Amino acid sequence: PRGPRTGHRVPRVPRGPPVPPVPPLPGHDRLPGPKAAGAVGSPEAGGAAALAGPAANAVHLEVDRRFYQEKSEKLSTENDQLRDELYLVKAMLRKMEEKLEDYQLSLRHTEVDGAALSSPISPR
Protein backbone atom coordinates (compact mmCIF):
# COMPACT_ATOMS: atom_id res chain seq x y z
CA PRO A 1 0.00 0.00 0.00
CA ARG A 2 1.00 3.60 -0.46
CA GLY A 3 0.65 6.57 1.84
CA PRO A 4 -2.41 8.68 0.95
CA ARG A 5 -0.52 11.84 0.03
CA THR A 6 3.11 10.92 -0.20
CA GLY A 7 2.96 8.12 -2.72
CA HIS A 8 5.76 6.38 -0.84
CA ARG A 9 5.59 2.63 -0.73
CA VAL A 10 4.94 1.48 2.80
CA PRO A 11 6.74 -1.79 3.59
CA ARG A 12 4.68 -4.44 5.31
CA VAL A 13 5.99 -7.25 7.46
CA PRO A 14 5.61 -10.49 5.49
CA ARG A 15 3.51 -13.18 7.06
CA GLY A 16 5.30 -16.47 6.77
CA PRO A 17 4.49 -19.98 7.90
CA PRO A 18 3.63 -20.52 11.56
CA VAL A 19 6.61 -20.59 13.89
CA PRO A 20 7.31 -24.05 15.31
CA PRO A 21 7.04 -24.34 19.10
CA VAL A 22 10.18 -23.57 21.08
CA PRO A 23 11.32 -26.32 23.44
CA PRO A 24 10.79 -25.40 27.08
CA LEU A 25 13.66 -24.20 29.23
CA PRO A 26 15.06 -26.80 31.63
CA GLY A 27 12.91 -26.87 34.74
CA HIS A 28 10.07 -24.99 33.01
CA ASP A 29 8.68 -27.84 30.95
CA ARG A 30 5.72 -28.55 33.24
CA LEU A 31 3.21 -26.26 34.87
CA PRO A 32 2.37 -27.15 38.48
CA GLY A 33 -0.85 -29.16 38.64
CA PRO A 34 -3.72 -28.67 41.08
CA LYS A 35 -4.16 -30.92 44.08
CA ALA A 36 -7.81 -31.78 43.43
CA ALA A 37 -9.41 -32.95 40.19
CA GLY A 38 -11.81 -30.40 38.74
CA ALA A 39 -10.10 -27.49 40.50
CA VAL A 40 -9.41 -24.27 38.63
CA GLY A 41 -6.45 -24.91 36.35
CA SER A 42 -6.90 -28.67 36.22
CA PRO A 43 -7.10 -30.51 32.88
CA GLU A 44 -10.73 -31.36 33.58
CA ALA A 45 -11.56 -27.70 34.09
CA GLY A 46 -9.63 -26.70 30.94
CA GLY A 47 -7.20 -24.54 32.92
CA ALA A 48 -3.51 -23.77 32.51
CA ALA A 49 -2.40 -27.26 33.51
CA ALA A 50 -4.23 -28.61 30.45
CA LEU A 51 -1.70 -26.71 28.32
CA ALA A 52 1.44 -28.27 29.81
CA GLY A 53 4.54 -28.79 27.68
CA PRO A 54 4.84 -27.91 23.99
CA ALA A 55 1.16 -26.99 23.65
CA ALA A 56 1.61 -24.27 26.28
CA ASN A 57 4.61 -22.91 24.40
CA ALA A 58 2.65 -22.87 21.15
CA VAL A 59 -0.20 -20.95 22.78
CA HIS A 60 2.20 -18.46 24.35
CA LEU A 61 3.99 -17.99 21.06
CA GLU A 62 0.68 -17.40 19.29
CA VAL A 63 -0.26 -14.78 21.90
CA ASP A 64 3.12 -13.10 21.40
CA ARG A 65 2.79 -13.29 17.61
CA ARG A 66 -0.64 -11.64 17.70
CA PHE A 67 0.57 -8.95 20.10
CA TYR A 68 3.57 -8.04 17.95
CA GLN A 69 1.53 -8.25 14.74
CA GLU A 70 -1.00 -5.77 16.16
CA LYS A 71 1.82 -3.57 17.43
CA SER A 72 3.48 -3.67 14.00
CA GLU A 73 0.24 -2.71 12.26
CA LYS A 74 -0.38 0.12 14.75
CA LEU A 75 3.14 1.49 14.28
CA SER A 76 2.86 1.18 10.52
CA THR A 77 -0.37 3.21 10.56
CA GLU A 78 1.22 5.80 12.84
CA ASN A 79 4.26 5.93 10.55
CA ASP A 80 1.99 6.59 7.54
CA GLN A 81 0.24 9.39 9.43
CA LEU A 82 3.55 10.97 10.42
CA ARG A 83 4.79 10.80 6.81
CA ASP A 84 1.63 12.56 5.67
CA GLU A 85 2.03 15.24 8.33
CA LEU A 86 5.68 15.73 7.37
CA TYR A 87 4.69 16.11 3.72
CA LEU A 88 2.12 18.78 4.64
CA VAL A 89 4.57 20.65 6.89
CA LYS A 90 7.23 20.63 4.15
CA ALA A 91 4.70 21.90 1.59
CA MET A 92 3.66 24.69 3.95
CA LEU A 93 7.33 25.57 4.57
CA ARG A 94 8.01 25.78 0.82
CA LYS A 95 4.98 28.04 0.38
CA MET A 96 6.12 30.32 3.21
CA GLU A 97 9.65 30.49 1.79
CA GLU A 98 8.21 31.53 -1.59
CA LYS A 99 6.15 34.27 0.08
CA LEU A 100 9.19 35.49 1.98
CA GLU A 101 11.20 35.68 -1.25
CA ASP A 102 8.36 37.63 -2.90
CA TYR A 103 8.25 40.08 0.05
CA GLN A 104 12.03 40.51 -0.08
CA LEU A 105 11.90 41.25 -3.80
CA SER A 106 9.04 43.70 -3.29
CA LEU A 107 10.99 45.42 -0.50
CA ARG A 108 14.04 45.80 -2.76
CA HIS A 109 11.89 47.37 -5.46
CA THR A 110 10.38 49.74 -2.90
CA GLU A 111 13.85 50.71 -1.69
CA VAL A 112 14.98 51.42 -5.27
CA ASP A 113 11.84 53.47 -5.95
CA GLY A 114 12.30 55.40 -2.70
CA ALA A 115 15.94 56.10 -3.47
CA ALA A 116 15.06 57.36 -6.95
CA LEU A 117 12.43 59.75 -5.56
CA SER A 118 14.66 61.18 -2.87
CA SER A 119 17.69 61.82 -5.11
CA PRO A 120 18.08 65.42 -6.21
CA ILE A 121 17.18 66.15 -9.80
CA SER A 122 19.95 67.96 -11.61
CA PRO A 123 19.01 71.01 -13.74
CA ARG A 124 19.80 70.84 -17.45
pTM, to two decimals: 0.44
Q: Report the distance separating Cα 62 and Cα 25, nearest Å.
A: 18
Contact present, 41 and 47 (Cβ < 8 Å) = yes
Lowest mean pLDDT across 4-13, 28-37, 75-84, 98-107? 28-37
Could you give phi then psi for residue 42, rounded to 5 degrees? -80, 160
Tell me the Cα Rg of the chain. Answer: 34
| Cα–Cα distance measured from residue 31 to residue 44, given in angstroms and rounded to the nearest whole number | 15
Confidence (pLDDT) at 56: 85
Task: Give the model confidence (pLDDT) of 65-120 as tens digits.
Answer: 999 999 999 999 999 999 999 999 999 999 999 999 999 999 999 998 888 777 66
Interval 45-72: pLDDT, tens:
455 555 567 888 899 999 999 999 999 9
Q: Hey, how many other C-beta atoms are within 10 angstroms of the C-beta on 18?
A: 10
Do the Cβ atoms of 6 and 91 come closer than 8 Å?
A: no
